Structure formats: C-alpha cells, structure tokens
Amino acid sequence: MKILQVIYESRGNPFGMGGAGVRAYEIYDRLKERHEITFLCMKYPGARDGESNGLRHIFVGAESQRLTKSVLAYTIEAARFVRKHGDSFDVIIENFLPSTPFFSRFLSKTPVVLQVQGVMYGHVFRKFGPLFSFPLYAVEKWYPPLHDKFIFVSDVTRERVMRGVKRAVKLCRVIPNGINGELLELTPAEGDYILFFSRIDAYTKGLDILLSAFCAVAPRFPGLRLVLAGHEADRFSRLAADLPADIKERVTYAGFLTGPDKTALLSGAKMVALPSRHESLPVSIVEAAACGKALIVSDIRELSFVGENGFGLSFPSGSTAGLEEKMESLLTDRVLRTELGRKGREFSRHFLWDSIANEFENTLVSIVHEEE
C-alpha cells in the first residue's frame, strides 16, 4: 500500500512531538518494509524533504519560528498537497487536531481515515482566550462528523466523538497506544524522585496542581525530588518561578528524552504522577506501567482504566489536597508501590507496539480492499 500520513509532528520539529507523533513512528517503523509510507508534516527551519529511516517525509508550510504562523501555513499547504497528489495514494490517515482541519476527505478520491487522539471540548475555553477557543471548539464539534472512517486511541474519546456523528459510518475502530516489549524486561529500581513524564502543559496536564501538592508534601520527605520531562509547551522556568527557594532546588526539568535516557528516567522513578484535566490514552502511562511503576492520576474518565485495572491511585481532578494525600500514601507504603507496579506490568503486556502495528495494518488493508 501507498500510505499518506497527514500529521504536523515529526522527529526534529522544534515545536515538539507528543503522543500522536510517537504513535505514528512506532507503528510505521514496523510497517515500512511492507508498505510505502509518506509523512506530510509541518515545515520548520532546516526541515528538508526526503527519506529518513525508511520513511519518506514531505514538509509543507512556512519556515517560521512562530507556532501559530507555522500551523496556519501548514494547514493550507497540506490541503493543497492532498488536492494535488492525494489520488496517488491508496489510503490517507489524517491526524485530527482542531487547529488543523485539512478537509482531506473532500480533496481526494482516496479513502481518508480520521485518526483522533483526544478532544478538549469545554476545556478549550479554560485554556485559551476567546480568539482561539471559539474556533477550536467549533471545529471539534463539526469537523469529525463530516467523516465516515475513524480510528480512536481510547473508548472514551470514541464515545464522545461518535455522539455527534449522524451519518452512516464505514469504519470505527479503537486501536490504542502501546509500548516496546523491552520495557517489560527491565528490573525496576527506585530513585528519590516522583516523575511527571508528558507534555509540559500547565493546564491540560495539571502541572499547577502537581507543583502545589509537591510543595505541601516535600517538607515531610527531605530527600524527595520532583522531575518533569517532556516537550515544553509551557516554559518550565515560568512554572517554577514562584516556588519557594528550598522547594525550587528539588524540582528539575529533564528535557524531552527518547531512547535509553527516557527508559532510565522511567525505570528509576519512585512513582509516576499524571494529574491531567483531560487526556486520551497517554503513551507515558502505559510505558510507566511496563516499567513496574505505581501511578497517581486524576479521576477523569480517560484515565479511569488505571484504577480499574489496579495499577494506580486516583484523586479528584483539580484537588491539590487529594493529590497530596495519594502521594503520601505511596511514599509511605513500599509494599503498595510494588503491588501496583506488578499489576501495571500485567496490564501493559497487552499493549505491545508490534501487535498494535499489525492491527493498524490490517485495518488499512481492509479499507483499501473495500474501496476497490
């Protein structure tokens, strides 16, 4: 098959790469020997078209240092590319973001699958000003219902989006995120830090709650540190600016890590915390579980699977006191941490990227055959 993946994220992009980008590379790295795969990505300074590790990359848009300008230019130019070249592919996977509605389905005769990581809905008004929030909310509501083929990464997101889809649907699949199997072979270690491993996004990821809870619990655990890792959507220095001096020196930013550095940081954490206000199915959660780490998550529906499968504790979303309480529970109970970590490994064994890539491939093959 000739597959076109429309996604603004790519390796090397200075604006960062989140779960959608990680997912795309993990899946297509496993399919590239059997299929011809093209990434249609957002252009950034220094980006050059060509093949990288067996995957063809085409960058469109503007070589700008400003994210808003880059996203707008990419949306326009990617739509033009699909109109001009879309018919030369067997299937198009459009990664949905409310800021980048490409209208691929109406620009090519090639079947288009809308892949949805997650949705913000009402949260958009609390995160952005009116200039951005109203357009983004409108796109999240009316754009997905224009499609008839969907891949979701979680059941919760599927349910929310499909409530608004009134047309006949030809495909609606949930294909989750996953892990690399070698994480299951690591011997878990316990360092002196609580780890947050996701995008540095204060509102979405609840970092304001995490920092406040750590300030409250840290005096009772003198050697404890908090380590944040991930792409900086919000500047870490700004988030940490108002912390008390004695706490600030115990909170560090490890950067955006991949490969052995990422694995070492995950495997050495005492526990992993993700106090998000909204989510999809975070890659970092499944990876932390695979490393045998106890988890603390907010009690939003998207993360309910953590408690339901017994490998983490949940607290009321937005509650600093609730997060502090769960932190203290795990910090003082090594037996509980170990048991949660054991159950996390059992859970994560069902989410190997090899199996997920095969399921993804079979889904695309079925779409192409139905269209023939």
Residue-wise pLDDT tens digits, 127-173: 988 888 999 999 999 999 999 999 999 999 999 999 999 999 999 99
One fold for 2-178+352-371 and 181-348: yes
CATH node for 181-348? 3.40.50.2000
Domain ranges of the chain: 2-178+352-371, 181-348
d(CA 232, CA 257): 12
DSSP H or E run through 92: strand 91-95
Q: How confident is the model at residue 323 (pLDDT cuts 50, 70, 90)?
A: very high
Q: Is 147 helix (H, G, I), strand (E, B) or coil?
A: coil
Whether the predicted model's global pTM rises above the 0.85 cut: yes
| pLDDT at 17 (0 to 100) | 83
- Topology of domain 2-178+352-371, CATH: Rossmann fold (3.40.50)
pLDDT at 299: 96
**Rounded mean pLDDT, 63-73:** 88
Task: Describe the crossing of helices 320-331 and 207-217 by its angle, rounded to 10 degrees.
Answer: 50
pLDDT tens per residue, range 20-32:
999 999 999 999 9
* Residue 219 token pair: 């005096």
Residues 6+ apart with CB under 8 A from 222: none
Q: What are phi and psi of 52, to 5 degrees?
A: -135, 115
Q: What is the average pLDDT score of the chain? A: 94
- Determine the Cα–Cα distance for residues 228 and 269; give it in Å rounded to an integer: 11
